[in-house]
């Protein structure tokens, strides 16, 4: 009987530590999967609209776009990236439970075409990380 009592106390003590295991939530409303964007013109741009939230507190998020050439998923991302156009920016989200992203990525300098990956990574204060991805396509403007 005494043994059972001890086990119960340990279980209660552990659950009180309250470690945040919940990953941030990422909702991307733009771009959507499969959409084609023109590149290489002055007004060529990729519109980004997303909401990132966490049950506790966000830390940072990263927006990235790169050519899908040579890889299908991001398990092997590190060895997969080619020397083509790459967009990469980190946004500080400390102190926020929720942020709204609204930006326009210029595609004026892009000369690469085909399938691209658009990704948003988010981390929270406790180090939980989540990832949302869209597959998009680039086509050279006739300009």
Q: How far is the CB of 79 from Zn ion (least distance, A)?
A: 12
Interface with Zn ion: number of residues (CB under 5 A): 1
Mention every residue, 6+ apart, whose C-beta is less than 8 A from residue 96.
57, 58
**Residues making up the chain, counted from first to last:** 143
Instruction: Scan for tokens 């991001």, then name that residue.
Output: 74
Q: Which two tokens stand for residue 133?
A: 């991805």
Q: State the binding string over 100-129 for Zn ion (x if CB under 5 A, else -).
A: -----------------x------------
Q: How far is the CB of 87 from Zn ion (least distance, A)?
A: 12
In whole angstroms, give the CA distance from residue 60 to residue 92.
5
Q: Closer to Zn ion by CB, 58 or 110: give it.
A: 110
Q: Is 134 in the site for Zn ion (CB under 5 A)?
A: no
Residues that bind Zn ion (CB under 5 A): 117
């Amino acid at each position: 009987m005494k043994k059972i009592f001890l086990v119960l106390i340990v279980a209660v003590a552990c659950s009180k530590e309250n470690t945040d295991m919940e990953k941030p939530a990422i909702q991307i409303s733009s771009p959507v999967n499969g959409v084609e964007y023109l590149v290489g013109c002055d007004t060529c741009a990729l519109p980004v609209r997303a909401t990132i939230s966490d049950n506790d507190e966000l830390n940072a998020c990263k927006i990235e776009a790169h050519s899908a050439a040579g890889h299908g998923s991001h398990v092997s991302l590190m060895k997969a990236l080619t020397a083509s156009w790459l967009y990469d920016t980190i946004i500080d989200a400390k102190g926020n439970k929720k942020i709204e992203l609204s930006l326009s990525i210029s595609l004026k300098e892009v000369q690469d075409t085909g399938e691209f990956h658009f990704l948003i990574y988010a981390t929270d204060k406790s180090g939980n990380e989540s990832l949302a991805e869209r597959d998009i396509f680039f086509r050279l403007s006739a300009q």
